[in-house]
Structure 1
Amino acid sequence: MKKIGFLSFGHWSPSPHSGTRSAGDALLQSIDLAAAAEELGADGAYFRVHHFARQLASPFPLLAAVGARTSRIEIGTAVIDMRYENPLYMAEDAGAADLIAGGRLQLGLSRGSPEQVIDGWRYFGYAPGDGESDADLGRRHAEAFLQALKGVGFAQPNPRPMFPNPPGLLRLEPHSPGLRERIWWGSGSNATAIWAAKLGVNLQSSTLKDDETGEPFHVQQAKQIRAYREAWKEAGHAREPRVSVSRSIFALVNDQDRAYFGNGKDADSIGYIDDNTRAIFGRSYAAEPERLIEELRKDEAIAEADTLLLTVPNQLGVAYNAHVIEAILKHVAPGLGWR
């Protein structure tokens, strides 16, 4: 069995060709798609966070709304850029959203990706310390957030408070027990995957990573996952970790599918991020279900992961994206033993 969810970037555009023309459309359609995915039997609704862009940004109002609208599906991010976050305020938001959802949050964090603006986190009031990089800043914020999620008191109480305090140092409220074990790290390299394992968080691996060996993307990603699992084992954590990978996968079952994706990219590509980091971008999959099953069976990284996130073209509308998810669940997943 493999958990299957969707991942939406929440793009919106005022173009007449877009089915998502405003920020309000993106948010409300995200809630509707999560509800539709739950009805179809999908396991997760995940959302990407980008700042200064016509995409989903502040995640917690959306996560709370999805949590209130649904009852079973996992609700997550992939990923929140921790360079922009106040770890303590985020812990309060995350605790509240998780309680509303009944303990279904699966929060993916990361250092973030190339941005729309230069050093955008500086506009949010954050900057690396002496000798730190922006990646160090993101990891420092992540570690502070994880510490806050433990629910351990750390703040000295006022001797004359407005309301009575429990004994001892005070923790942040609301606290959601178990959320600490449902945090993921979005890793673009083998080294950060190993760091995440030592920290005791789950692993999210996306559709791109540093090109570290020159091998096909899925082979490099599978090796990253194995390195993560080995580091987790060496760290001696008590529980088993979870690992997700993201893919663009489209089962061509009707003429509309073929018109949209019948001539899609079917090979990895190479590019550069942050000007000097060579990255490999994984291929998309688009084919008739029988052929798709054969192609996906060869993807080593999908085989290594327990969770698959399907990236969806959200501007094509809720109904079409529900169809994309249903086609994978109905026509592809059983043939691969995922259902």
Structure 2
Amino acid sequence: MPAEPVEPTRDRPLRRLGFLTIGLFDAADPGPGHTVTLEMIELGERLGFDSAWLRDRHLQHGISSPVAVLAAASQRTSRIDLGTAVIPLAWENPLRLAEDLATVDVLSGGRLNPGVSVGPPMAWDDVRDSLYPDTADVEDFGYGRVERLLAFVSGAQASTFSGTRGIEVFSDRVQPQLAGLRERLWYGGASLRSATWAGEHAMNLLTSSVLKWEGGEDEPEGGYDFAALQLAQIRAFRAAHPAGDDARVSQGLVVLPTDSATPAQREKYEAYAASRLERTRTPQGPAKMLFAPDLVGTSEELATQLRADVAFREVDEVAFALPFTFEPEDYVQILTDMATHLGPLLGWRPAA
């Protein structure tokens, strides 16, 4: 991967603005947390956001079934796109997931944007006997799982029988089956290989604030350049995609505008970013994951920082990630400032 900064091939106004949340809740009383998430999505629609995305958290106090929550959100909204970023397919049966996605897409009027990823489940040794008690040693957690999902969503045969048995009619394809969902499937990629694979399979690409460092053991001269790494992956994706330079990429960074924040909120946001800064200096763990710094400041300051980011200048869609542990009033302030201050400074206009 490049060690030196790379210039972007284009620099366009921001066309689509979205946000991402984990949907944190209290284990002793989970209802209010889920309600807050739904209210945030409603607020996003009122503010003109183009998309709202839910992260997937299993055996934690965050949303474990984003598709179910988005089904509820589909009935409380009418315009905003609803996405998952991302569903780890190792926890899913692609055939059953295809049915769920198609159902929610119908309920939302064609607004679902499912994002998925592959790889073994997190804490695999702890959950394998519960998740796959009989087949753990033979489960395939690679790209084949995505290919099965893509096929079922696209109408591939899912059964050897179709027709009538008794008084019941059966289809050999996933039902409901409707056009458009396949084109709205996203892959959450963190490596050059994943980005290229997503492009080859005509998916959209979700790239976030966490990427895999693939540049060798030694620190490059000038330090680790997250934006240059992200730009290289975006270019590889588009080079492999049938749509080329027009293939859709959504960038997800943690961006916290402070225009209308109280002094206490600004202090909290700055402390949050500072507590996570050390992990951005070098790749982390055996997988060598590289993290982008969180951005905190006024919208004017943030716009300047983002315009200097070569990867940001290569995309025209974003889904800024909200911190997991903030209070509802913090999210309201952050989303409002994004929509009314930061977005317009980046060339974005709220949806009608």
TM-score bracket, shorter-length normalisation: 0.7 to 0.9
Contact 2:190-2:207 at 8 Å conserved across structures: yes
The one-letter code matched in structure 1 to 2:270 is G
The residue aligned with 1:157 is 161
Change in Cα spacing, 1:238 to 1:288, as seen in structure 2 (3 Å) is closer
Tell me the distance in 2 between the aligned counterparts of 1:240 and 1:295: 24
How far 1:31 moved relative to its partner? Answer: 0.8
How far 1:237 moved relative to its partner? Answer: 5.1
Please give the residue correspondences for 1:122-271 in structure 2 after superposition, counting only pairs within 5 Å. Answer: 122-125=129-132, 127=136, 129=138, 137-157=141-161, 161-163=165-167, 165=169, 170-213=172-215, 214=220, 215-232=224-241, 236=242, 240-253=246-259, 254=261, 255-263=263-271, 264-265=273-274, 268-271=280-283
Change in Cα spacing, 1:117 to 1:165, as seen in structure 2 (3 Å) is closer
The one-letter code matched in structure 1 to 2:81 is E
Between 220-229 and 250-259, the greater mean CA deviation after superposition: 250-259
TM-score, normalised to structure 2, is 0.83
The residue aligned with 2:87 is 80
How far 1:110 moved relative to its partner? Answer: 0.3
Please give the residue correspondences for 1:1-339 in structure 2 after superposition, counting only pairs within 5 Å. Answer: 1-13=14-26, 22-111=29-118, 115-116=122-123, 118=125, 120=127, 122-125=129-132, 127=136, 129=138, 137-157=141-161, 161-163=165-167, 165=169, 170-213=172-215, 214=220, 215-232=224-241, 236=242, 240-253=246-259, 254=261, 255-263=263-271, 264-265=273-274, 268-273=280-285, 276-313=286-323, 315-339=325-349
Cα deviations by residue, 1:135-159 (Å, 9 ceiling, x for unpaired): x514222111110001234423266
How many residues align? The count is: 321
Tell me the distance in 2 between the aligned counterparts of 1:305 and 1:121: 38
The residue aligned with 1:18 is none
Q: Secondary structure at the match of 1:32?
A: helix
Change in Cα spacing, 1:113 to 1:141, as seen in structure 2 (3 Å) is closer
Contact 1:44-1:75 at 8 Å conserved across structures: yes
Cα deviations by residue, 1:295-315 (Å, 9 ceiling, x for unpaired): 111111112223211111354
Cα deviations by residue, 1:106-149 (Å, 9 ceiling, x for unpaired): 111002587356363552225353xxxx7x51422211111000
Q: Secondary structure at the match of 2:284?
A: strand
The one-letter code matched in structure 1 to 2:17 is I
TM-score, normalised to structure 1, is 0.86
Contact 2:115-2:185 at 8 Å conserved across structures: yes
Contact 1:269-1:282 at 8 Å conserved across structures: no
How far 1:239 moved relative to its partner? Answer: 10
Contact 1:29-1:317 at 8 Å conserved across structures: no
Identical counterparts, % of pairs:
30
Cα deviations by residue, 1:149-177 (Å, 9 ceiling, x for unpaired): 012344232665134648xx721111232
Q: Secondary structure at the match of 2:52?
A: strand
How far 1:270 moved relative to its partner? Answer: 2.7
How far 1:319 moved relative to its partner? Answer: 3.6
Structure 1 alignment gaps of length 5 or more: 15-20
Change in Cα spacing, 1:142 to 1:259, as seen in structure 2 (3 Å) is same
Change in Cα spacing, 1:292 to 1:240, as seen in structure 2 (3 Å) is closer
How far 1:100 moved relative to its partner? Answer: 0.3
Tell me the distance in 2 between the aligned counterparts of 1:239 and 1:270: 31
Cα deviations by residue, 1:205-237 (Å, 9 ceiling, x for unpaired): 1111111235311111011101110111xxx35
Contact 1:246-1:308 at 8 Å conserved across structures: yes
The one-letter code matched in structure 1 to 2:313 is A
Contact 1:45-1:74 at 8 Å conserved across structures: yes
Tell me the distance in 1 between the aligned counterparts of 2:315 and 2:210: 15
Aligned-CA RMSD value: 2.4
Contact 1:48-1:77 at 8 Å conserved across structures: yes
The residue aligned with 2:9 is none
Change in Cα spacing, 1:145 to 1:114, as seen in structure 2 (3 Å) is closer
Tell me the distance in 1 between the aligned counterparts of 2:201 and 2:137: 21
How far 1:238 moved relative to its partner? Answer: 9.1
